[in-house]
Structure 1
């Protein structure tokens, strides 16, 4: 199976007026706008915006040009970051994910030698371990007020042959004592109908029993029933609740759209995957952002979450009227593991003039 550049819908989106601004200023402005839409107290918003600016890689000091100097896999136009919000719990969790674009410092905010997982596995995803190349590295910061910021790291495996992906993941899971759970999950996934490939390996950069390891699959031409079967690999998964959520997001279609993702989360002490999250790409399933926002709002309402702040957030982040926008709300994920409202909305920001071409292979 060949690697390729990111999937994206075949349309040109309205661009943000970002040319000439520094990446860090632009992302800090989006974070601040999200804080305001989510009704986060001003002092907390100012503090975390300042903190975020200090966590971004050195490219955050570069000006945004007509096209990316180093295209990222994060977004179809090569922009190296996305913003997302998880809506479970009493307070939404605000997140920013960003590509390190090859910078060596794994994360200026954490001691990688002492975290639960990172220090034991990160070298397995580098050329030093005999891989075809060092895996692209992404980081994210996640903040659920008033708690502290949490860090996560993602290794992109999409450039490697499948044999190297499985070798790196298998060795990492062995070092982390998660081989029985991984063997069980891999057997169940490979027995399922459909075609998919491992695309990311992720770790929570944190101590404690709640730290997770996550494996992401990209599904090819999947239907919602197939996605539900993959999610059912996890120990905690409500298939009926998941099916209902997928129907809302797809508009009752049987197909799941292009490049749907399935994520299995693993925790220490369990002999199978703990939880599963399914990601659907709304541009492939809705006519535009207005319809995508309406469907997501309906899902949130059905999960017991007031969708008012979500609608305010989408409007605040859009480069123009939602009725004229498409591709801002890129992904919506759902996890049916016993916690209502476990929905995350992912926003991408059209900044560059042209989209990154897809490898025809």
Structure 2
């Protein structure tokens, strides 16, 4: 199976000296570093670091080599995890997403596991699919609130017809078939090329728990991704246009492989919200430039960018002029200021040695 790996311009990129370390130790160390940069109390940092270690799949006990034993679709070098921070609200929300790499481990049963059970079979051969969908899991924590869990099904290995059939059946099981049909039809009227890549569920029983569908855009301009986002019930196209331009600099295009995510909530007749993700390695020369643009966006949204700057510097393996750890920046206009999320990926492997053909 050949996967779509974003092709960015060549640049000097420093990698982490992670070879020989346990995956779990490396990721938990990054979590603790992020907690320190975000000024989270030590006791809470220690407690949540232990929680993260307990949730990681069995591969966390293996050692990082020079190339991935099983490349993951999470990052372009095959590393199976990423970290992100949402900057809305009084306290930033810290998140880690990781690929199960075939280990079908799930979150605690009390975290909305019944919703996952209701659709899990749809994404397996028992549900008529050609192969089990790659399964990703994430945790999200906004201190001092509890941990939230999310599960993602990767649809990218399948033909497009199979992806569409799986999403339609899953949305029907969740009672959201009409909302999905209305959203899908509206997206299909927009000129451009895009494909469904992920289906995700918030693992919570609350009425506001979301179901999300992700599209990857191909060769899209900023105006096009804004039109796609405008399909959602809550989207401010003017605010979004200004945000995208801040991140893209003098570019009119949305860069390589921009993503559009629609969030569905019970009782709505269409996607409730939309989020657009722009890939900064294609739009900015280095983290130094990407951080300046993102800081400008945060400032415009009323968020002091100081902690974001400290966090990026703490997570980067070298000077920001020679790194690209800030992979994605997303923006959502859903009624609250500062709904910006920064996604960090950690270069561990030499990309020239990393296989991109997953058989």
Normalising by structure 2, we get a TM-score of: 0.96
Q: 2:191 aligns to what?
A: 193
1:108-119 alignment runs, 5 A limit: 109-111=108-110, 115=113, 117-119=115-117
Out of 306, 309, 313, the residue aligned to residue 304 of structure 2 is: 306
User: What secondary structure is seen at the aligned counterpart in 1 of 2:351?
Assistant: coil
Give yes or no for the alignment of 1:51 onto 2:51: yes
Structure 1: distance between partners of 2:44 and 2:76: 32
- String of CA shifts for 1:162-213, please: whole Å, max 9, x gaps: 0100000000000101011101100000000100000000000111111100
Structure 1: distance between partners of 2:204 and 2:17: 37
Structure 2: distance between partners of 1:299 and 1:35: 23
User: What secondary structure is seen at the aligned counterpart in 1 of 2:245?
Assistant: helix
Give yes or no for the alignment of 1:208 onto 2:206: yes
Q: 2:130 aligns to what?
A: 132
Structure 2: distance between partners of 1:141 and 1:181: 26
> Is the Cα contact below 8 Å between 1:116 and 1:211 reproduced in 2?
no
Q: 1:17 aligns to what?
A: 17
User: What secondary structure is seen at the aligned counterpart in 1 of 2:85?
Assistant: strand
Unmatched 5+ stretches in structure 1: none
Runs of 4+ in 1 over 4 A off after TM superposition: none
Give yes or no for the alignment of 1:63 onto 2:63: yes
> Is the Cα contact below 8 Å between 1:116 and 1:208 reproduced in 2?
no
Q: 2:31 aligns to what?
A: 31
Deviation of the 1:358 alpha carbon: 4.9
- String of CA shifts for 1:90-140, please: whole Å, max 9, x gaps: 000000000000012233x2358x535212101100112121100000000
The number of residue pairs the alignment matches comes to: 355
Give yes or no for the alignment of 1:334 onto 2:331: yes
Unmatched 5+ stretches in structure 2: none
Structure 2: distance between partners of 1:129 and 1:8: 33
Structure 2: distance between partners of 1:137 and 1:151: 13
1:197-276 alignment runs, 5 A limit: 197-276=195-274
User: What secondary structure is seen at the aligned counterpart in 2 of 1:18?
Assistant: coil
Normalising by structure 1, we get a TM-score of: 0.96
Q: 1:183 aligns to what?
A: 181
Change (3 A) 1:196 1:3: farther
Q: 1:351 aligns to what?
A: 348
Structure 1: distance between partners of 2:355 and 2:288: 26
- String of CA shifts for 1:21-63, please: whole Å, max 9, x gaps: 0000000000000000001011101110111100000100001
Structure 2: distance between partners of 1:133 and 1:10: 33
Change (3 A) 1:57 1:82: same
User: What secondary structure is seen at the aligned counterpart in 2 of 1:117?
Assistant: helix
